[in-house]
Amino acid sequence: MKEQELKKLVEDMTLAEKIGQLVQVTPDFFDQSGEITGPAAEWQLPQDKLFQIGSVLGTHTAEQVYTIQKMYLENSRLNIPLLFMADVIHGYETIFPIPLALASSFSSELTEEVARLSALEATRAGVHVTFSPMADHVMDARWGRVLESNGEDPTLSAELTRGYVRGYQGTDLEKETERLAACVKHFVGYGAVQSGRDYNHVDLSAIELYQNYLPAFQAAIDEGVKLVMTSFNPINGQLMSVNQSLIKETLRQEMGFEGVVISDWNALEELLAHRVAADKYQAASEAFQAGTDIDMMSDCYINHLSEFSELDRQELDGAVLRVLTLKNELGLFENPFRGIPKTPDSIEQMLRNATKDAALKSFVLLKNEDDILPLQKTQQIALLGPKAASKDILGAWSWIGKTEHAVSLAEGLSSGLPHLTVWDNDGRTVDIAEAYQKMKDLAHKNDVILLALGEASEETGEAASKAEIQLSEAQIELVKEISAVNENVVVVLFNGRPLDLTAIEPYTKGILEVWFPGSEGGTAIAETLMGEHNPEGKLPMSFPRAVGQLPLSYQAYSTGRPLTEKNQNEKYVSKYMDIGNDPLYPFGYGLSYSDFSIDGFEQSAKILTENQPLTIQVVIRNTSKRAGVATVQLYVEDVVTKVVRPIKELKQWEKVTIEAETTEKCTFTLSVDDLAYVHKELACYPDYGQFRFHIGLDSQQTIDGQFDYVSDEE
């Protein structure tokens, strides 16, 4: 449909039909019995209004979508098709590793491929839009939704976000019917909720907002993302769904977003609980005036927007046109059953293979003392712990994925280790003392003890905030008890957030972070433990020494009394009295079965100008007898700044495959854009002067150099 035809369609719509396009409901509103029950009854939503609704969220199957769409079109005056949206976060039925795990790959190519394959499966179920990617900047592991994030670094997050959008949307949504429209969320600041508690208050400075929280959203917009979801939290005291300055001025005008803005679930009605709206009428009018196009799962718009006497008809037509434009870009007017195959071929095995490959790239080897890993087939191995045979490895957002179809760690290891003993108690009625004695007996009899530990899926994700992020007391005690019998303990860690591992780290020789690894998790973990795959993941979030360090980021700001190597014993410096300032495991950290070192670097010049970028060539050596992947990271430090700045910031990275006992070179090119930062007037530009760069295999252990940024005229 051409743009002019869309505008004519808007002209032909009644006020009620226009408002309906701005409302989103769940499938249960379309009860096939024809009886108005459940939330539809609570909203007093008669059938004539129901068949004016614009979109549906949370369908499960192609049959469900087909039935609802067919019924809707048969009862809709103008035959405007429904949009179907869903939470396709890291897969649909076939589940990939959680986004935080995918971020460990430091690869936008991987996030793009995962998004493409997720879209391929979801579109076959009739889904048109995914509520992904999540671009929230995060520094607090207490917040359960770090599971959905790209981690603590805004540059890495922006790059991975680009990959997601490209993968979901492709280049032409109308022609590529196996692609989804992407909705980037949550705009903006949700990752900064106070105390790490979901749905809580947010208070951010403007500089912090522009420097760290907006870049990933800008990356999504630059890639052409079709929707933006507002966050639950306030910024500057204004809830985001009614924050006109951030939606209309920042998002629309400054950032150039032209697509659809949608609220989060019931966010408009929740304005009443926040005490910033007296009733649903006020909530509807203020949200609409602020620029929120679609009201997700509240009756504020459907029942109260028409009462708003000052409703700007031009504003209303603009919002409706944005929704219709999205439907048109998806080709729904010509093909309302888009993506649903008449005779679907099986893609399950291809998807499961892809989930395994993604998992292999996401595991982070945190500790490998005495080269206890990889395991040897000749060894006697005991696999113990609550996650040993558990299929709860998919994560909190695997709402359609079938847990029973996941490959557990025990299943993954069963064929590769002939001398493997698995004991997880598996519901057997054994008291605690008897269980410990059984496991100690196994620890005595075996060469290496694998302890599969971690969180349950429901302990992470939305509404899963924690005040303490250690393993459970029972799991900590298990590590101590087993290590007292056999010091060769390797922990395989399943979790959706960075954990405080200080209680168990001294009692282990190896720790492999596998996150929630997805449908083929057990297979991928087994291949890694057995050495068939060499770990290559890097931490996208720092692991703290204690929860008291949170929020935590490697991007520590300069202070007037910094802690240095020379003043460790002084009192009046910025430090903790009981622990160090540094994390247990820093951002960018991750070991390999290979041994890498950075032998040095060469830089093209000592100055950088607008017309003369700086090239830095780095030599990386593999001193081991095994090929592996090194992720070389380049950080930049501005020596003198106009506002207080982080000491170092990640700017570029490169993944390099290095054969055994050889060297490779990687080249970084720094430009003026890499030096820019947000100043007090909120403009982003660099300052002339001295800079340092830091190159390493993580954010802490680096080799350093320097250069000056000068005018081309000097």
The domain boundary, picked from 489, 520, 549, lies at 549
Its pTM surpasses 0.85: yes
Residues 75 and 158 in one domain: yes
**Domain assignment of residue 679, yes or no:** yes
Q: What is the pLDDT of residues 562-608, one digit of tens each?
A: 999 899 999 999 999 999 999 999 999 999 999 999 999 999 999 99
| Continuous segment of H or E residues that includes residue 274 | none
* Nearest alpha-carbon partner for 685 in 672, 699, 697, 698: 672
Q: Which residues partner with 329 through β-bridges? A: none
d(CA 372, CA 471): 23
Residues 413 and 381 in one domain: yes
Residues 241 and 382 in one domain: no
**Domain assignment of residue 392, yes or no:** yes
- The CATH number assigned to the domain holding 86 equals 3.20.20.300
- CA-to-CA dists, residue 296 to 131, 230, 232, 583, 623, angstroms: 12, 11, 12, 39, 56
Residue whose structure tokens are 């010509």: 334
- The CATH number assigned to the domain holding 637 equals 2.60.40.10
649: three-class secondary structure by DSSP: strand
Q: Are 268 and 11 in contact (CB under 8 A)?
A: no
- For residue 350, the tally of other CB atoms under 10 A from its CB is 11
| Continuous segment of H or E residues that includes residue 113 | helix 108-123
Instruction: Determine the pLDDT at residue 401.
Output: 93
**Domain assignment of residue 579, yes or no:** no
- The CATH number assigned to the domain holding 536 equals 3.40.50.1700
**Domain assignment of residue 232, yes or no:** yes
- Mean pLDDT over all residues of the chain? 96
Residues 619 and 498 in one domain: no
**Domain assignment of residue 582, yes or no:** no
**Domain assignment of residue 643, yes or no:** yes
Residues 187 and 79 in one domain: yes
Q: Residue 21 pLDDT > 80, yes or no?
A: yes
Residue 527 tokens, joined = 């291949």
d(CA 414, CA 427): 20
Instruction: Determine the pLDDT at residue 140.
Output: 98
Q: Are 467 and 144 in contact (CB under 8 A)?
A: no
Q: What is the pLDDT of residues 623-655, one digit of tens each?
A: 999 999 999 999 999 999 999 999 999 999 999
Instruction: Determine the pLDDT at residue 344.
Output: 81
- pLDDT interval class at 40 (50, 70, 90): low
Instruction: Determine the pLDDT at residue 641.
Output: 97
| Continuous segment of H or E residues that includes residue 144 | none
The domain boundary, picked from 549, 578, 612, lies at 549
Q: Residue 100 pLDDT > 80, yes or no?
A: yes
**Domain assignment of residue 557, yes or no:** no
The total domain count for the chain is: 3
| Continuous segment of H or E residues that includes residue 599 | strand 596-603
Q: Residue 544 pLDDT > 90, yes or no?
A: yes
Q: Residue 98 pLDDT > 80, yes or no?
A: yes
- Known catalytic residues are 264
Residues 540 and 429 in one domain: yes
The domain boundary, picked from 519, 549, 579, lies at 549
- pLDDT interval class at 241 (50, 70, 90): very high
Residues 15 and 83 in one domain: yes
- pLDDT interval class at 428 (50, 70, 90): low
Residues 472 and 534 in one domain: yes
The residue that leads in pLDDT, 639 or 430, is: 639
- Type of residue numbered 649: E
Q: What is the pLDDT of residues 183-216, one digit of tens each?
A: 999 999 999 999 999 999 999 999 999 999 999 9
| Continuous segment of H or E residues that includes residue 207 | helix 206-208
Instruction: Determine the pLDDT at residue 34.
Output: 53
Residues 122 and 269 in one domain: yes
The size of the chain, in residues, is: 714
Q: Which domain holds residue 483?
A: 349-549
Residues 190 and 85 in one domain: yes
Residues 210 and 355 in one domain: no
Residues 164 and 238 in one domain: yes
**Domain assignment of residue 567, yes or no:** no
